[in-house]
Chains A and B, each alone.
Chain A
């Protein structure tokens, strides 16, 4: 699941990034209202949840929440805020938020709340990303080809594809891929191990020089192209 965290405090984001990544989330960060709106416009359907701090530089988080709701009725919005007062909580929920968590927070609580909201509205959990002739469903963990036949992937291939899909049309470094797909530091991964899995993945999705679906970005990493 890809999440956008909007908070102008770097330590809070760092905490979220460390904690949520380990729980299998991919986290993007926006530091203020304008940056958040830009990211939501660009990656419109990619975010499963958006975490917003009430206090933001520029317009506040409540205004941002209203704006996001106008654009996307389904995405999960959770406020993370230092304000405990009932009035702020009610304002936030009335602005379109699904939940409100008080700082300091536990990443485990955020994870549990996202899952709880997803249980109530399973449509939100349905997250399909299309690339080339394939449909990748993050919820059911399946990859379907153009005939809607399931493409069998190994667990590591699925995780590699998940990381690439979450940054579709953007280059992902080898280090990022290793850290996220293997969920640990890249030091212990044999350098050529990733190449073997990429090669296998390419074979399964019919990559070739002409379609260049899973592109090598020389000296950096890989990029999954949507078309």
Chain B
């Protein structure tokens, strides 16, 4: 199970941002994900948030439309 620190580190690695900036981006991603209703999500919205989710995990993590809700829940459950 990933921790907030690991999410931030992954964002930093994937995006080229410093850790402090990556932490701010992680908080913004969490806020964005909190607004989403997974049962009613549109295809466009899913496309929009997918890169944000991928940003939080190592680049070789397989995240697709079949399993992305699992990764969203992981982020939301471990964002403190």
Contacts and interface: CB of A to CB of B under 8 A. Distances in A.
A109 interface: yes
B16 A19 contact: yes
A104 interface: yes
A109 B16 CA distance: 8
Nearest to B57: A104
Interface residues of B, number: 19
Contacts of B50: 82, 103
A15 B47 contact: no
A212 interface: no
Given A106-B16, A109-B16, A14 B28 contact: yes
Nearest to B28: A11
B52 A14 contact: no
Interface in B29-67: 29, 32, 44, 47-48, 50-52, 54-55
Contacts of B18: 22
B15 interface: yes
Contacts of A220: none
B24 interface: yes
Nearest to A106: B16
A43 interface: no
Contacts of A83: 47
B17 interface: yes
A94 interface: no
Secondary structure of the A contact surface, majority rule: helix
B14 A106 contact: yes
B54 to A, nearest CB: 5
Contacts of A10: 28, 32
Contacts of A22: 18
Contacts of A211: none
Contact of B17 (A11, A18, A109): A18
A177 B24 CA distance: 22
Contact of B54 (A11, A104, A109): A104
B46 to A, nearest CB: 10
Given A11-B29, A104-B14, 8 more contacts: A8-B48, A9-B32, A9-B52, A15-B15, A15-B55, A19-B15, A55-B48, A82-B48
28 contacts: A8-B48, A9-B48, A10-B32, A11-B25, A11-B29, A11-B32, A12-B52, A14-B24, A14-B28, A15-B25, A15-B55, A18-B21, A19-B15, A19-B17, A22-B18, A55-B44, A55-B47, A82-B50, A82-B51, A103-B51, A104-B15, A104-B52, A104-B54, A106-B14, A106-B16, A107-B16, A107-B17, A109-B16
